[in-house]
Structure 1
Amino acid sequence: MLRNARRLARRALTRAINSGPILALQVGTDRRIARKASGLEPSARSGHIVISTVGLGNVGDQAMLEAFLDNSTEHVHVVMPATNSLTLPIRHAHRATLVHLPGLVDGMPYRRKNSRKAFVELVRSAKTCSVIGADIMDGGYSPRESVLRCSVLALAHRLGADTAVMGFSWNGNAHPLARDAIRGIASTTTLYARDPLSASRLKADGIRCTEVADTVFSFDQIDAPRDLLSWRSSQAHRRLVVVNASGLVASATMIREYVTAVSALRARDFAVLLVPHVLRQGDNDLNACSDVYSHFHADPAVHLVTRLMQPAEVSWIVSEAEAVFTGRMHLAILSLNHGTPPCVVSTQGKVEGMLSLFGLERYSLEPTVGLGSRAFDSILELTQDGLRDRLVTIHPTVRDMALSQFRHVNQHASHPRSLP
């Protein structure tokens, strides 16, 4: 009974902090702080601020951060909602700093006070302030996270920083609070929609945006994971398919569908590598991938990755594959960077637009009964002759679209990075 009472209390608290009045109170406080701070003596400006996604064991979130760092210059303060959310790659350790500001873009009103104060000090001397928008801004997961990110960007603009929301999706049913919040900053903040479908939805909602591609389409790091080299060598005579079972769609029914797909692939003598892309409580891919692997653990041609991979390691894995079947969009993006065709389980309305950049929208698969057979049929189509060459030909155009949003950062640099 006590456990149920606590659960109900947590739900009530979540509803309260996501409510319009509580969010309006926080936004109003941000505005008052901005008005007060804007009257202070201006600081000399240098470097950039980027507000990261949640991370905490998400390869896609890590890849978006690394793409930002790879394509920016000068010092970058990476604002994170939690300690150890993400890591700094060694190649950027000399020019980036991780800053933990709890509650700034996702927390309770009482937790934001100190974080807001620290953020104001940072942004008063920064040239730019960017939010990695990803799939957060439409409020599909939490309207609070969208509204507070918009509020922080409005504060940063008032204090003199050039502001932007980097590559983000916009689903067909954005939360009204999120829609109002992003509409409120559209005149002062550059909004980069990361696929044509999101751009059209934003424009239909009366929100001005610039169409680009996901920042990870610019990611070009690659690193062979030593713990996979032996297995890959042992299966070099077989064509490889990478399979990701997402913790977002990990019901018993969906696990059976993944087992169906892997069984069909093995019947055609494909080697299968099960790769978790998110390892964290709540939507853990490793649990889902392990459930699938339990049906094949005696088969040496099926292998399970059991640790969190770095984006560069995932890039090597997908570069070795003939095709990818994934429930995570950024695994598909990393595969397309190497011409490897993916079929992708559709979640949050963000996959179709990305795939349309390569003419692959038909390979956005709904997580319903029959998924396993549809995925297998898709993989057979995707491994046909000539498709990989076509994807490699298209990729430079998509990469240039991804790079175009970094002009927001580099136009302020003392030594601008050359971009298309």
Structure 2
Amino acid sequence: MSSGHPSAIRSGCTRTARHTRVPPEQQDLMKTLLSRLILSPLKKKIRQPVEAFRRTPSYVDRFELGPWSKAQGLVRERSRTRPAKRLLILPSDPITFQGAKGDEAMMEASLRVIRQTNPGVEVGAITASDQASTIARASGFKPLQNWNRPFSYESIARAVSAFEPDICVVLGADVLDGYYSTPHAARMLLTADLVARTGADVEVLGFSFNSTPSPGLARLFERLHPRVHLNVRDRVSYDRFVAFTSRPAQLVADSAFMLAPTTDSTGVLRIAEWVATRRAEGRTVVGFNLHPMLFRNATREQISALIERSGRVLADAAAERRLSWLLIPHDYRGSLGDDVCLAPIGQALKPKLGDDVFHMTGEFTAAELKGAAGLLDGVITARMHLAIAALGGGVPVAAVVYQDKFRGLFGHFGLPDTLMMAPEELIGGNAFDGFVRDFIDHLPDLRVQVAAALPAVKDLSAKNFGTVA
């Protein structure tokens, strides 16, 4: 029996530990079980009431409108210079800046349009990380790294006043209804307000609005400065927005329709050569895109099901309809990026299809992705801005939809709801097989329909820039 001496106690504990040491793989299993069975449910239980409170008018009044009101006194108003000397960009994700290629497409399209009437404009961009600031500098922008944690409207007010913008574009995208985060939506909108109070004209580029917007945002929209111009990118979203708030808005099409495609880069030329070779062998060439955000907080099992089912259907369709598949990533944000799904699909298809599958590896610009999409006969995608890239090149699209974002886009072209499929349908039953085959069989008629609608859609897209170009 051990004595009470500390060294004896330590010695006894050491001997016991040697005999009961848990192997690393069992430790990992125990951690996983602990996380799934205890920690994850506990976090969810805590998070749910917090998220519910953030959607309320009480939260917005106290934690967003209150600090914003105090920051207004720090804004220095000045007269706008014409033509504009300085443009400020507020991305929808100031942390990654351009991780989503849709944001890059909207930025590049905006610059193209604005520089036609303001050729020497200096561009600033609000950022929230060193990574985002580095990307902004590489694009020729001056980063204003003031979207800090903790967030401060006073810091934003000082930064935008010091930059002295004449015009501003806000990438509303799909974040302004509060679906992902009510605080983020509020801060995007109230930052736009602070910029307008410097004397700048602000265009909130065409954004979508889902069927369950955060209730706390309604009064916030109505209190925005008159120089903040709101553009809603489809009829479905527009009707929802009008029902939600009395703030005026303009119906447009997505600003990314104004993006000019790149067709002569090395990467796109390589794809063009592959497409030409496949067509010469009598194949129809179709793009395919899938990503892990189709399910909110997707489980490993859901992602595995997406990968397995898609790979099987694409292989079968290639054989039955003489198809070649171009796997197109449109988002490169690591664990949220499209290659989480596309890379294993490509690996599974290559032994079966050989040269009839081409996975676009490496990172392409938004303009290159539009150039590549325009080479195809059709595109099946889960990313809305890849759909916009394809449709903007006259290429028909079918979509695996989430967050109710595609219906309005398809409405611009008169495309039917049958070209949209929920992710739950993709992984359940055999509906995806018929969905793919039906799309392929109707490609000639769909191409005519898209081409007929495209000029009017581009006219609507140009309306995003009424006060800044």
Q: TM-score range by the shorter chain?
A: 0.7 to 0.9
Partner of 1:380: 440
Q: Could you tell me whether the CA contact under 8 Å between 1:66 and 1:89 is conserved in 2?
A: no
Aligned residues of 2:168 and 2:202 also touching (Cα < 8 A): yes
Task: Using the TM superposition, name which of 373-382 and 350-359 deviates more.
Answer: 373-382
| Residue of structure 2 equivalent to 1:142 | 181
Q: Which of 102, 112, 121 lines up with 2:162 in the alignment?
A: 121
Q: Which moved more, 1:78-87 or 1:134-143?
A: 78-87
- What is the CA–CA distance in structure 2 between the aligned matches of 1:6 and 1:83, rounded to whole Å? 31
CA displacement, residues 309-344 of structure 1 (integer Å, 9 cap, x when unaligned): 112211222111111000000101110111110001
Deviates more, 1:74-83 or 1:162-171: 74-83
Deviates more, 1:167-176 or 1:292-301: 292-301
Name the structure 1 match of 2:312: 260
1:319 counterpart residue number: 374
Q: Are 1:329 and 2:361 an aligned pair?
A: no
> 2: distance between equivalents of 1:179 and 1:151?
13
CA distance in 2, matches of 1:186, 1:209: 13
Q: Which among 325, 343, 347 is matched to residue 272 of structure 1?
A: 325
Residues 111-143 of structure 1, C-alpha deviations (whole Å, 9 max, x = no match): 665444222322xx2222331101010011111
> How far apart in 1 are the matches of 2:241 and 2:420?
21
**Cα distance, 1:251 vs structure 2:** 2.0
What letter is aligned with 1:383?
Answer: L
Match of 1:58 among 75, 85, 100: 100
Q: 1:101 to 1:341 in 2, by over 3 A?
A: same
Counterpart of 1:241 in 2: which secondary structure? strand
> What TM-score, normalized to structure 2?
0.76
1:339 is paired with a residue whose SS is coil
Structure with higher Rg: it is 2
2:411 paired with 1:366: no
Contact 1:290–1:304 at 8 Å: present in 2 too? yes
Cα distance in structure 2, aligned partners of 1:88 and 1:233: 36
Q: Counterpart amino acid of 1:82?
A: S
| CA drift at 1:406 | 0.7
| Alpha-carbon distance change, 36 to 82 in structure 1, aligned in 2, over 3 angstroms | closer
Q: Quick check: 1:81 aligned with 2:128?
A: yes
Deviation at 1:206, TM superposition (A): 3.0
Q: Tell me the number of residue pairs that the alignment of Structure 1 and Structure 2 aligns.
A: 398
Question: Is the 8 Å Cα contact of residues 166 and 201 (structure 2) preserved in structure 1?
Answer: yes
Aligned counterparts of 1:235 and 1:88: Cα–Cα separation in 2: 38
SS, match of residue 72 in structure 2: helix
Matched, 1:131 2:170: yes
Unmatched runs of 5 consecutive residues or more in structure 1: 411-420
1:331-346 mapped onto 2 (5 Å cutoff): 331-346=386-401
Q: Distance in 1 between matches of 2:450 and 2:79?
A: 47
* Displacement of 1:234: 3.9
1:403–1:181 Cα change, 3 Å: same
Residue aligned with 1:147, SS: helix
Change (3 A) 1:157 1:169: same
More helix per residue: 1 or 2? 2
| 1:355-391 CA distance string (max 9 Å, x none) | 111011421221122452243134224413x432332
Q: Which residue of 1 aligns with 2:27?
A: none
Q: Of the candidates 235, 245, 254, which is equivalent to residue 278 of structure 2? A: 235
Deviation at residue 189 of structure 1 after TM alignment: 2.2
Counterpart selection for 1:170 from 209, 215, 224: 209
Which one of the candidate residues 244, 248, 263 is aligned to 2:289?
244
> CA-atom RMSD, angstroms?
3.0
Deviation at 1:284, TM superposition (A): 1.7
Question: Paired residue for 2:68?
Answer: 30
Deviates more, 1:113-122 or 1:147-156: 113-122
Counterpart CA distance in 2 for 1:159 and 1:100 is 16
TM-score relative to the length of structure 1: 0.85
Shift of 1:286: 0.4
SS at match of 1:185: coil
Q: Hey, what does 1:303 align to over in structure 2? A: 358
Deviation at 1:401, TM superposition (A): 0.3
Which has the higher mean CA deviation after the structures are superposed, 167-176 or 374-383?
Answer: 374-383
Aligned position for 2:145: 101
What SS does the aligned partner of 1:352 have? helix
Deviations, residues 224-280 of structure 1 (Å, cap 9, x unaligned) = 452434544542422210000122136222223312331233112111011111111
Is residue 286 from structure 1 mapped to residue 304 from structure 2 by the alignment? no
Q: Give the counterpart letter for 1:275 in structure 2.
A: I
Identity %: 22
**3-state SS in 2 of match to 1:240:** strand
Q: Give distance in 2, aligned partners of 1:43 and 1:225.
A: 42
What's the counterpart of residue 159 of structure 1?
198
Asked if the contact 1:131/1:164 (under 8 Å) is kept, the reply is: yes
Q: What is the Cα deviation at residue 297 of structure 1?
A: 1.8
Contact 2:237–2:408 (Cα < 8 Å) also in 1: yes
Q: Deviations over 1:136-173 (max 9, x none)?
A: 10011111111011111222233322223111000010
Deviations 1:180-215 (A, max 9, x none): 322332755211000000001011113321100000
In structure 2, distance between residues paired with 1:197 and 1:173: 13
